[in-house]
Structure 1
Amino acid sequence: MNKKELETEVKRRRTFAIISHPDAGKTTITEQLLLFGGAIRQAGTVKAKKSGKFAKSDWMEIEKQRGISVTSSVMQFEYQNKRINILDTPGHEDFSEDTYRTLMAVDAAVMVVDSAKGIEEQTKKLFKVCRMRGIPIFTFMNKLDRDGREPLELIEELEEVLEIDAYPMNWPFGSGKNLLGLYDLYHNRIELHRPEEMNGGERFIPLTAEGEIEGDHKIKNESLYDQVLDEALLLKEAGNDFSKEAITKGKLTPVFFGSALTNFGVQTFLETFLEFAPEPAEQETVEEKVIEPTDEEFSGFIFKIQANMDPKHRDRIAFLRICSGQFEKGMDVTLSREDKKMRLSNSTQFMAESRETVSSAVAGDIIGLYDTGNFQIGDTIYSGKNKVTFKELPQFTPELFVKVEAKNVMKQKSFHKGINQLVQEGAIQLYKSYHAESYIIGAVGQLQFEVFQHRMRNEYNSEVVMTSIGNRIARWISQDQLDENMGSSRNVLVRDRFDNPLFLFENQFALRWFSDKYPDVELTALL
């Protein structure tokens, strides 16, 4: 496509992640968005285990068993002439690494909050990453069909805990069994929860310029009507000013109320979100260049690697965020880390577990590249003569460690293949004892070990035995400063998967003791 066509296509892209604390309803709202986009015909809720229906974005077997998301998944669809890329992220804190890296690949975030629980711990952590990136944040107060906290209390908590201004786009008429609808401040209308009972099936009631219903109406007889009207008028007068610029800079979050499970308020949210969500943004490089999304030369970075999305084929998919130009099947690119030329002949688009080959994509799109071991998380690929290297993605030092070995010594081949492939996904880290080949794996949370054990058994037919060595503090040391006699039972000397030496310290006391004994030795938390 020519420059003008490229610009038109890029401007149609909206790429965002959905973040939340576990069980706030993140996967359910994703389902409803896909339903509006015609990407699925039926929402398979994570609650419906007996019927065999599972969330379309939860494709991994362990996710279906537990009803949680433990890996980011990508879904793409068209809606109102926009090309939408949704990244559904794990809510569980043990998988926050995956979520953090995913947030590097989006232009906006949708924060789902349980209206009965308010701002929870994991939401705070994920919000900080969004704030660090300065990306727009849109808030959906979910589960309005259940009795929850007062809307004003939720807004105040949002502003105080997360230190961001909030602008309610709509305001609830009741909650739980008494939920009547939403007073839509932005569109100046009322959205009814049960329109067939209140308005002959019409979901929306237009309001006058003063914000009231003209003439007689059934909802006016409800005791909540005058109260909500007063609250809405007060919000208009005394609340924060609405500012598109403040939203774009991540300083003001538009707040929507609704219920993903009953599909109430979701369509209004989606259409309003698309009005204010940003187009693909420019990206900075280590070469101190700014890559515009409409630059004609192709570039992108790998933010995730996933093994065995199709267990029948034992494939590996590298998730690529396109940052500029146009991807075309079979194109030649350079892998920046190794200055290595390669041809991108196998690529895919996603709909959770279902995929289709993609022949063309532009900045803002997320595509999957079939990987035979070339890629690492954080890799840049680009076309053209001028080198491009995007800035590093966040890394995390593990805190929990276990020794791992194959239960059946006759299945060493599948054990080694499985452990090496799963390590490349970035959720767990692999270490080896310094002089032997015994394996230690590290993670930031216990659930990651359980998922690792489950996947080794089910995807690689390899039962593993894991022996905890507890919490450890990992610190790297340069090869030229290393003396192997420095190692002890309190600071175990190991190698990472790139053969760099590091110590696993038993606790802070052991780390301080080592630093006092070897004051000239420099230890680093990340390599």
Structure 2
Amino acid sequence: MSTTAEETNDKSTREVVAEAGRRRTFAVISHPDAGKSTLTEALALHAAAITSAGAVHGKGERRGVTSDWMEMEQARGISITSAALRIDYADRVLNLLDTPGHADFSEDTYRVLSAVDCAVMLLDSAKGLEAQTLKLFDVCRARRMPVITFVNKWDRPGREPLELLDEIEQRIGLRPTPLNWPVGIAGDFRGLLDRASGTYTRFTRTPGGATRAIEETLTPEEAAEAEGEAWTQAVEELELLGEIGADFDVASFMAGESSPVLFGAALPNFGVSQLLRALVDLAPPPSDPVDAAGAGRPIGAPFSGQVFKMQANMDKAHRDRMAFVRVATGRFERGMVLTHAATGRPFATKYTQAVFGSERTTIETAYPGDVIALVNAAALKVGDTLYAGRKVEFPPIPSFAPEHFAVARAVDAGRYKQFQRGIAQLDAEGVVQVLTSDVRGEQAPVLAAVGPLQFDVVSHRMAEEFRAPIELAHLDYTLARHTDAASAPVANSLSGAEVLTRRSDGELLVLVHNKWRLRVIQRDHPELVLEPLLAGGVEQEE
């Protein structure tokens, strides 16, 4: 009996929908030093993706964090780039998009948040909500993204758990609904009381925390005998939460109105398996994406995906350029010839990889929610859409509003071609925004950044990768605004302002010294177009 084309298509669609249902794609957001990279490794360890975890600053034979592959990251102990980690766990495919923790690299984090379906908000038990976490949560709120909260470092002195929950609700309006509760105060972490089952999980740390913590499950009666007053206090606090209705609700979680809360300590691997189970059970699978025109594209439709990150020279031996693509619909097969929506030109996918930190493996197939890395993708840039079948183009990914500006010049005029190539590549990757003007010329582009550490990355990569060292002259501007061709000549003539053209999209930007100068300009010249830039869908603050 022959199989018709329609039956084949129906079978393929059902396969795509089923595989998409197995995917959980999420990012971890936090303030610097909250333990994000350590948690990333702990999740990979508990899912058996790696055999041993290393601290950010390795000691002895302990290696560096798996997701931190760049030399500067390993040397400084901070995450600079984002990394995509694929983990198979409990018949699910977890796509963990690790992000830079430092505030100076917020733009990379904002781009990653456009490619995930859920976020894990990581809090330091002693510090609670901090500035960078608040900014990133605002982006999640704007995207109506479900958020799971993980209170980290409970093995160290910190605040009362009820106080932390109150802060979450009062400061960001997110109703916390704990799934488990710590037994023992912060700094004296005994274990976790599971709200659903009432059972108690007690942890034993392994040497150096390099392998999974030993977990022992006790009944409530056994826990009461073993932990005494600490258990009684935990039970009483949970009863109080029950009385005020702090119970998990799927609808409010999916609407971004409440957040399930878990407690733990990533470094010794306490509470990490509980977070993994929460991600499997609660995080949403991919859904039908919406295109730039506002129309939905069924998840089972032919392949489509969007570039959310560009990264060059991850492989020193080949000096390649890699585009990270979130699969939005359909089944991806290596070797497919896709269409680049921005140009209408074909794009071959012969070299496609899955990236786990510094490790790479060739990937043959992928489904909605997966992240694929296309090698030698010089024609692509952040926000581009690739598709098969009916044309589709997804909304562009907004750029972050820069606050620091510096003029870049080549130290060696004889290496100007390498200088041009390096600056253009870093612009395409989104490491910095590169601005030019007729007055300054292309020999002296202006680099626009969220934070000054981005300039350190540019200087390092220009010298090491492109052999074109640069010198930077910092400019006394702190704000950027959109303008138009009619307003540009007037704005350019004003004191404390300068008009530049952003190379990647031709858009006119006005740089202003500070917000007070901006207000004076707006008062004296109300006819000028000076529109705020958006930061990941959130208007930048004045």
**TM-score with structure 2 setting the length:** 0.89
> Quick one: which of 181, 184, 187 aligns to 2:191?
181
Contact 1:434 1:493 in 2 (8 A): no
In structure 2, the partner of 1:228 is: 234
Moved more, 269-278 or 482-491: 482-491
User: Shift in Å at residue 52 of structure 1?
Assistant: 6.4
Q: 1:525 to 1:236 in 2, by over 3 A?
A: closer
Q: Structure 1 CA distance, aligned partners of 2:428 and 2:54?
A: 30
User: Shift in Å at residue 65 of structure 1?
Assistant: 1.1
Determine helix, strand or coil for the equivalent of 1:430.
strand
In structure 1, the partner of 2:67 is: 57
Contact 2:154 2:265 in 1 (8 A): yes
The alignment-based identity, stated in percent, is: 40
Moved more, 88-97 or 492-501: 492-501
Q: 1:472 to 1:111 in 2, by over 3 A?
A: closer
Q: 1:191 to 1:348 in 2, by over 3 A?
A: same
User: Structure 1 residue 370 and structure 2 residue 375: aligned?
Assistant: yes
In structure 2, the partner of 1:209 is: none
Q: 1:184 to 1:340 in 2, by over 3 A?
A: same
Instruction: Tell me the amino acid that sits aligned with residue 230 of structure 1.
Output: E
Determine helix, strand or coil for the equivalent of 2:19.
helix
Q: Map Cα deviations across residues 319-363 of structure 1 (whole Å, 9 max, x no partner).
A: 111110011111122211222222222211110111111111010
In structure 1, the partner of 2:25 is: 15
Moved more, 470-479 or 439-448: 470-479
Determine helix, strand or coil for the equivalent of 2:293.
coil
Contact 2:85 2:95 in 1 (8 A): yes
Instruction: Tell me the amino acid that sits aligned with residue 159 of structure 1.
Output: E
> Quick one: which of 156, 160, 167 aligns to 2:166?
156
Q: Structure 2 CA distance, aligned partners of 1:217 and 1:526?
A: 56
User: Shift in Å at residue 161 of structure 1?
Assistant: 1.1
> Quick one: which of 177, 187, 208 aligns to 1:167?
177
Q: Structure 1 CA distance, aligned partners of 2:515 and 2:240?
A: 53
Moved more, 338-347 or 271-280: 338-347
Q: 1:49 to 1:465 in 2, by over 3 A?
A: farther
User: Structure 1 residue 260 and structure 2 residue 266: aligned?
Assistant: yes
User: 5 Å matches for 1:247-326?
Assistant: 247-293=253-299, 295-326=300-331
Moved more, 270-279 or 72-81: 270-279
Instruction: Tell me the amino acid that sits aligned with residue 242 of structure 2.
Output: K
Instruction: Tell me the amino acid that sits aligned with residue 398 of structure 1.
Output: P
Q: 1:305 to 1:271 in 2, by over 3 A?
A: same
User: Shift in Å at residue 176 of structure 1?
Assistant: 5.1
Q: Structure 2 CA distance, aligned partners of 1:194 and 1:475?
A: 54
Contact 1:287 1:388 in 2 (8 A): no
In structure 1, the partner of 2:425 is: 421
In structure 1, the partner of 2:347 is: 342
Determine helix, strand or coil for the equivalent of 1:471.
coil
Q: 1:182 to 1:315 in 2, by over 3 A?
A: same
In structure 1, the partner of 2:221 is: 213
Contact 1:183 1:232 in 2 (8 A): no
Q: 1:503 to 1:153 in 2, by over 3 A?
A: closer
Contact 2:201 2:215 in 1 (8 A): no
Q: 1:480 to 1:513 in 2, by over 3 A?
A: same
Q: Map Cα deviations across residues 384-412 of structure 1 (whole Å, 9 max, x no partner).
A: 1x321112212223221111111122222
**Stretches of structure 2 lacking an aligned partner (at least 5 in a row):** 1-10, 207-213, 535-542
Determine helix, strand or coil for the equivalent of 1:247.
helix
Moved more, 42-51 or 115-124: 42-51
Q: Structure 1 CA distance, aligned partners of 2:522 and 2:225?
A: 75
User: Shift in Å at residue 484 of structure 1?
Assistant: 8.6
Cα-Cα RMSD: 2.4
Determine helix, strand or coil for the equivalent of 2:476.
strand
Q: 1:266 to 1:488 in 2, by over 3 A?
A: same
Q: Structure 2 CA distance, aligned partners of 1:269 and 1:495?
A: 46
**Stretches of structure 1 lacking an aligned partner (at least 5 in a row):** 207-211
In structure 2, the partner of 1:445 is: 451
Determine helix, strand or coil for the equivalent of 1:442.
strand
Contact 1:190 1:205 in 2 (8 A): yes
Q: 1:455 to 1:355 in 2, by over 3 A?
A: same
Determine helix, strand or coil for the equivalent of 1:106.
coil
User: Shift in Å at residue 501 of structure 1?
Assistant: 4.4
> Quick one: which of 240, 243, 252 aligns to 1:237?
243
Instruction: Tell me the amino acid that sits aligned with residue 471 of structure 2.
Output: V
Contact 2:411 2:471 in 1 (8 A): yes
In structure 1, the partner of 2:384 is: 379
Q: 1:225 to 1:109 in 2, by over 3 A?
A: same
Instruction: Tell me the amino acid that sits aligned with residue 340 of structure 1.
Output: R
Q: Structure 2 CA distance, aligned partners of 1:444 and 1:128?
A: 17
> Quick one: which of 385, 390, 409 aligns to 2:394?
390
Determine helix, strand or coil for the equivalent of 1:424.
helix
> Quick one: which of 431, 438, 461 aligns to 1:434?
438
Contact 2:491 2:499 in 1 (8 A): no
> Quick one: which of 105, 115, 129 aligns to 1:105?
115
Q: 1:192 to 1:512 in 2, by over 3 A?
A: closer
User: Structure 1 residue 34 and structure 2 residue 44: aligned?
Assistant: yes
Instruction: Tell me the amino acid that sits aligned with residue 268 of structure 2.
Output: T
Q: 1:49 to 1:456 in 2, by over 3 A?
A: farther
Instruction: Tell me the amino acid that sits aligned with residue 213 of structure 1.
Output: E
Contact 2:178 2:248 in 1 (8 A): no
Instruction: Tell me the amino acid that sits aligned with residue 267 of structure 1.
Output: S
Contact 1:487 1:493 in 2 (8 A): no
Q: Structure 2 CA distance, aligned partners of 1:224 and 1:434?
A: 69
In structure 2, the partner of 1:143 is: 153
Q: 1:131 to 1:473 in 2, by over 3 A?
A: closer
User: Shift in Å at residue 262 of structure 1?
Assistant: 0.7
User: Structure 1 residue 204 and structure 2 residue 211: aligned?
Assistant: no
Q: Structure 1 CA distance, aligned partners of 2:328 and 2:187?
A: 46
Contact 1:326 1:363 in 2 (8 A): yes
Instruction: Tell me the amino acid that sits aligned with residue 21 of structure 2.
Output: K
Q: 1:254 to 1:300 in 2, by over 3 A?
A: same
Instruction: Tell me the amino acid that sits aligned with residue 284 of structure 2.
Output: P
User: Structure 1 residue 462 and structure 2 residue 475: aligned?
Assistant: no
User: Shift in Å at residue 109 of structure 1?
Assistant: 0.6
User: Structure 1 residue 407 and structure 2 residue 411: aligned?
Assistant: yes
In structure 1, the partner of 2:94 is: 84
User: Shift in Å at residue 284 of structure 1?
Assistant: 1.1
Q: Structure 1 CA distance, aligned partners of 2:474 and 2:205?
A: 57
Moved more, 232-241 or 451-460: 232-241
Contact 1:111 1:138 in 2 (8 A): yes
Q: Structure 2 CA distance, aligned partners of 1:107 and 1:500?
A: 30
Contact 2:56 2:65 in 1 (8 A): yes
Q: Map Cα deviations across residues 238-283 of structure 1 (whole Å, 9 max, x no partner).
A: 3323212222222121111111111111112211321111111221
In structure 1, the partner of 2:78 is: 68
In structure 1, the partner of 2:3 is: none
User: Shift in Å at residue 508 of structure 1?
Assistant: 4.5
